[in-house]
């Protein structure tokens, strides 16, 4: 995969990553479709539950295959499939370091329920004892 170093590749991740002969990724951040019926140009965001979960297992497995032994894997996902994503990652051998909630606000415009105001981000590592975490890059002074 050296020929892909520092390049953006547009394609099906399962197809592209299957060409890798060895692990090459230190970090992967995935923000897949949430399967909640959003209208996209070409993507069907309303798959049958079992189809979506099968597809999810395939792309997560493809990513796990290319992570280096000290690799980290972040997955952003909405409420509907968060639990399944966590379980799938663990079943594929990943270790959960954090379950992060990214809060954002689009205001309260929904008429019959609360607005969606967060995304789950799962921070997985390949090896619980050997991983890279740049704590200084995310350090925040306490309000206390």
113 lies in some domain:
yes
- HSE-up (13 A, CA, CB side) for residue 5: 4
140 lies in some domain:
no
Q: Is 59's pLDDT higher than 90?
A: yes
94 lies in some domain:
yes
Convert the pLDDT of each residue in 36-58 to its tens digit: 877 777 777 889 999 999 999 99
Domain count, the chain: 1
pLDDT of 3 reads 60
CA distances from 48 to 8, 35, 100, 136 (A): 30, 9, 27, 42
Mean pLDDT of the chain: 91
CA distances from 44 to 24, 36, 68, 125, 142 (A): 30, 10, 32, 30, 43
Q: Is 1's pLDDT higher than 70?
A: no
**Between residues 81 and 111, the one the model is more confident about:** 81
Instruction: Output the domain CATH number for residue 48.
Output: 3.40.50.150
pLDDT of 38 reads 75
Residue pair 86/99 in contact (Cβ under 8 Å)? The answer is yes
99 lies in some domain:
yes
pLDDT of 77 reads 97
**Between residues 1 and 110, the one the model is more confident about:** 110
**Between residues 138 and 75, the one the model is more confident about:** 75
pLDDT of 120 reads 97
54 lies in some domain:
yes
116 lies in some domain:
yes
Residue pair 96/124 in contact (Cβ under 8 Å)? The answer is yes
90 lies in some domain:
yes
Q: Which domain holds residue 35?
A: 2-15+26-131
pLDDT of 36 reads 85
Convert the pLDDT of each residue in 60-84 to its tens digit: 999 999 999 999 999 999 999 999 9
78 lies in some domain:
yes
Average confidence (pLDDT) over 25-44: 85
């Amino acid at each position: 995969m050296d020929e892909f170093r520092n390049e953006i590749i547009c394609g099906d991740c399962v197809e592209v990553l299957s060409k890798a002969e060895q692990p090459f990724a230190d970090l992967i951040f995935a923000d897949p479709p949430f399967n909640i019926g959003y209208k996209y140009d070409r993507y069907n965001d309303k798959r049958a539950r079992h189809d979506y979960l099968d597809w999810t297992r395939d792309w997560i497995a493809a990513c796990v295959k290319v992570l280096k032994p000290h690799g980290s894997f972040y997955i952003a996902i909405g409420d509907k499939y968060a639990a399944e994503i966590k379980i799938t990652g663990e079943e594929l051998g990943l270790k959960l370091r954090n379950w992060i909630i990214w809060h954002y606000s689009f205001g309260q415009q929904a008429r019959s329920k609360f607005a969606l105001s967060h995304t789950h981000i799962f921070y997985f590592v390949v090896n619980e004892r050997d991983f890279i975490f740049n704590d200084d890059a995310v350090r925040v002074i306490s309000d206390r």
